[in-house]
Amino acid sequence: MKVPMLEEPVNIPMGPITLEGDLSIPEGATGIVVFAHGSGSSRHSPRNRFVAQHLQGRGLATLLFDLLTPEEEEMDAVTAHLRFDIEMLATRLVAATAWLLQQPATKDLQIGYFGASTGAAAALIAAARKPEAVMSVVSRGGRPDLAKESLANVKAPTLLIVGGRDTPVIEMNRWALDRLNVQKEMKIVPGATHLFEEPGKLEEVAAIAGEWFTESLK
């Protein structure tokens, strides 16, 4: 049965720029998951949208938004430098969080972050900056190591999901896990590569993340 849901495009103002997003709120939601996409991706990422739909089915609201403006995305497609500007991405994630806390439909929802690739580092830095607002973080095939010294300041329970065949990223995640001082866990999805493109692997990611968020965003 389809869950009754408010779905709408949103514009999130951030000083001189405005970022576009898609907000979905199932009836009775108590939490919302903000997606921080990774290198060269956007709110239209089919992988993040797949996970978002699974979370919505569990009664969680979701916000998928572009961390870059269309002009910045165009420039980044050539230079690839903005996707690795973790500081800027984290600042925009913090601004999106502040925006959610001001909206009547979302201000009372518990907030979690779902970060992929470089977006995972931005999510952890933003969580460290907004400990009173961010209740949970999940990383999918992420680079949490890029959050560096911010890892020790994260207060939200954190789950790191990595593909079993994504060997370099496994080690980067283990390094980050050791530096987190919160409730934490690392889940390795057997047989999965970096993008979890193998049959059934993204479904596993969605189920693991869904359980984590359902428990931590009550």
Dihedral of alpha carbons 170, 173, 178, 182, sign: negative
* pTM attached to this predicted model: 0.94
Residues linked to residue 32 through DSSP beta bridges, in sequence order = 61, 111
**Which value, in Å, is the radius of gyration of the alpha carbons in the chain?**
16
> Phi-psi bin for 15: left (phi > 0), alpha (psi -120 to 50), beta?
left
Q: How far apart are CA 150 and CA 103, in angstroms?
A: 28
Dihedral of alpha carbons 168, 138, 6, 104, sign: negative
pLDDT at residue 80 in the model: 67
Mean pLDDT score of the chain: 93
Percent of the chain with pLDDT over 70: 94
pLDDT at residue 177 in the model: 98
Dihedral of alpha carbons 23, 28, 32, 35, sign: negative
Q: Which residues of the chain have pLDDT under 70?
A: 1-3, 38-42, 76, 80, 82-83
pLDDT digits (tens, 9 = 90+) for 183-214: 999 999 999 999 999 999 999 999 999 999 99
- Domains of the chain (ranges; CATH) run 5-216 (3.40.50.1820)
- Sheet containing strand 5-14, strands side by side: 5-14, 17-26, 61-65, 31-36, 110-116, 134-140, 158-163, 184-189
Q: Which of 58, 67, 70, 52 is nearest to 7 (CA)?
A: 52
Residues linked to residue 210 through DSSP beta bridges, in sequence order = none
Q: Which of 175, 171, 203, 174 is nearest to 189 (CA)?
A: 203
